[in-house]
A and B are shown apart, each in its own frame.
Chain A
Amino acid sequence: MLEANESTPVTAKRSQSQLISLCVNGEWREVAVKPRLTLVEVIRDSIGLTGTKASCESGACGACTVLLEDRPILACLTLAIECDGKRVQTVEGLAEGGKLSAIQDAFLDQGAVQCGFCTPGMLMSATALLRDCPKPSREEINKALEGNLCRCTGYNAIVDAVLQASGQGVEPVMK
């Protein structure tokens, strides 16, 4: 099935950087990226937002979770060049005007942070969950956070924090 557009030249410019534009936390930026760079590398190294963590780099831990066009994705398994023209929200974009978001507040309050390495990913997954489903059950929270590993095993406090942020009868413990 050969069509007219097949004649478009494929220019395989290995390792040449291309300019892409990304809207990171509401601010458009132009970044030069090589095709092999992943979104997490560009967010951390080129843009300098180091809240997003790179850990397993194979999709097994969820530490690099960011919202791409409002959907939670793994920034370590996404090529930055594929995100040209798209909106990205990282953990730095959750607080508004210096005020933490409800889910961040709940994490602090429940002590849902131990070493903190999984926390940015957890917060992004939880933010996406609460947008789709404002009153999730414990089971729904477990399913939504199944892709985020916490090696400190602090899961109960994390689930409690999501329940608290969604206003479902979990009492604040620190205040």
Chain B
Amino acid sequence: MILLDFGYERAATLQQAAAWLARLGDGAHVLAGGTDLLPSLRAELVSPGVLVGLSGIEPEPPRLTADGSIRIDALTRLSSLAHAGLVREKLPMLADSALAVGSNQIREMATLGGNLCQETRCLYLNQRHDYQFAAPCFKRGGDCCHPFPRNDRQTCWSVHMSDIAPALIALGAELEILGGAGMRRIGAAELYTGSGLQPLSLGRAELVRAVIVPPPPPRSGWGFHKSTVRGGLEFGMAVIAVSLQLAEDGASCCGARIAVGAVRERPLRLESAERALVGARLDDERLARVAPDAAKALNPLPHHGFTRRHLLDNVAVYLRRALAQAAERARTGRA
């Protein structure tokens, strides 16, 4: 049961939604699929006066643009994204990352934009606390941090759990942001600030309108892994997305993008590991060295009962496997 009373307005277009949000200010919140917002409303993590619903806006199907990029409407449901022929064929990593989210029902409801803009999580933040008193934490306007009692920096060490964001970052995707001042385009990683208090770089009335993914270059391959305990209906303990490109000799690496999600307040790019791979031969020995080094440089936030050590070990193993898989796909040309 949602205890808070709010008004509801259904927008007919995204422009209208953005204009309403601008006019209504902090009292309004946008509602897309609702799978992230409704639990936040129940937990009273957000308390809007009005919800601006986007369910009346029909998303455009994913399409190929003139320059060969693939443009995906941010309101695309994750199940449509995972099963769209164009996405499956050209961007299998993106389809797999969408299929890794939540459950069948959640994928039927949740949208691509909503997944990217979801609330960060920790064991305390996203819970209702009416059954047992818990003092408000920094993010809720209080003055403590439950998972990190020695956090004295007035900040929030919660984790961004999107499964799709790391895949988009590894694919070099860009986002179209619609706001009062018009359209702007940013890299997928720039959506995130790195602060748990304010995880998104979006302005008050800005909305993600579309995701534009460049076509994967020739001789490239991908690897994706979401580490979970059960294997379904779960937030990841770490989400790893890799794309590698081979040089014309077919053995050495000429381009690498590695992103790890669910370990910090934003998805991280592993730039030192990328530098260690570019120009090198992608043999097992090299990958076995790069992956643990990259994990060591990661500094994950322990979250949801997983210790720092466990997360580092997990990333070291699955990053090596994802890199090996990406290298294999780049060599064989098989998606």
- In the complex, the answer to whether A79 meets B106 with C-beta atoms within 8 Å is no
- In the complex, the answer to whether A57 meets B1 with C-beta atoms within 8 Å is yes
One of A58-66, A104-112, A158-166 contacting the partner: A58-66
Q: Which of A76, A77, A82, A146 has the most CB of B within 10 A?
A: A77
Interface residues of A, dominant DSSP:
loop
Complex CA distance for A11 and B41, rounded to whole angstroms: 21
Closest to A8 in B: B16
Complex CA distance for A37 and B178, rounded to whole angstroms: 30
- In the complex, the answer to whether B178 meets A146 with C-beta atoms within 8 Å is no
Instruction: Identify which of B4, B12, B38, B182 contacts A38 (C-beta below 8 A).
Output: B38
Question: Could you tell me how many residues of chain B have their Cβ less than 8 Å away from some Cβ of chain A?
Answer: 49
Range class of the A interface residue count: 35 or more
Known: A2-B180, A58-B39, A72-B105. A35 touches B7 (CB 8 A): yes
- In the complex, the answer to whether A13 meets B7 with C-beta atoms within 8 Å is yes
Identify which of residues 1-48 in chain B touch chain A, using a CB-to-CB cut-off of 8 Å. Answer: 1-10, 12-13, 15-16, 18-20, 23-24, 27, 31, 34-35, 38-39, 41-42
The answer to whether the Cβ of B233 comes within 8 Å of any Cβ in the partner chain is yes
The answer to whether the Cβ of B333 comes within 8 Å of any Cβ in the partner chain is no
Identify which of residues 83-104 in chain A touch chain B, using a CB-to-CB cut-off of 8 Å. Answer: none
Closest to A129 in B: B104
- In the complex, the answer to whether B12 meets A5 with C-beta atoms within 8 Å is yes
Instruction: Identify which of B51, B55, B108 contacts A35 (C-beta below 8 A).
Output: B51
Name the A residues within 8 Å of B38 (CB-CB): 38, 59, 76-79
- In the complex, the answer to whether B105 meets A34 with C-beta atoms within 8 Å is no
- In the complex, the answer to whether A147 meets B15 with C-beta atoms within 8 Å is no
Digit string of B139-182 for contact with A (CB within 8 Å is 1, else 0)?
00000000000000000000000000000000000000011111
- In the complex, the answer to whether A12 meets B24 with C-beta atoms within 8 Å is yes
Identify which of residues 220-235 in chain B touch chain A, using a CB-to-CB cut-off of 8 Å. Answer: 231-233
- In the complex, the answer to whether B2 meets A6 with C-beta atoms within 8 Å is no
- In the complex, the answer to whether A1 meets B183 with C-beta atoms within 8 Å is yes
- In the complex, the answer to whether B4 meets A36 with C-beta atoms within 8 Å is yes
- In the complex, the answer to whether A147 meets B104 with C-beta atoms within 8 Å is yes
Digit string of A1-43 for contact with B (CB within 8 Å is 1, else 0)?
1110110101111111010000000000000001111100100
Complex CA distance for A142 and B233, rounded to whole angstroms: 12
The answer to whether the Cβ of A81 comes within 8 Å of any Cβ in the partner chain is yes
Known: A58-B39, A65-B105, A73-B108. A10 touches B5 (CB 8 A): no
Instruction: Identify which of B20, B23, B105, B182 contacts A62 (C-beta below 8 A).
Output: B105
The 6 closest A-B pairs by CB, nearest first: A147-B103, A146-B232, A12-B7, A35-B8, A6-B19, A15-B5
Of the A-B pairs whose beta carbons lie under 8 Å apart in the complex, a sample of 11, sorted by A's number, is: A1-B15, A3-B15, A18-B8, A34-B5, A72-B104, A73-B109, A74-B35, A78-B34, A79-B34, A142-B232, A143-B104
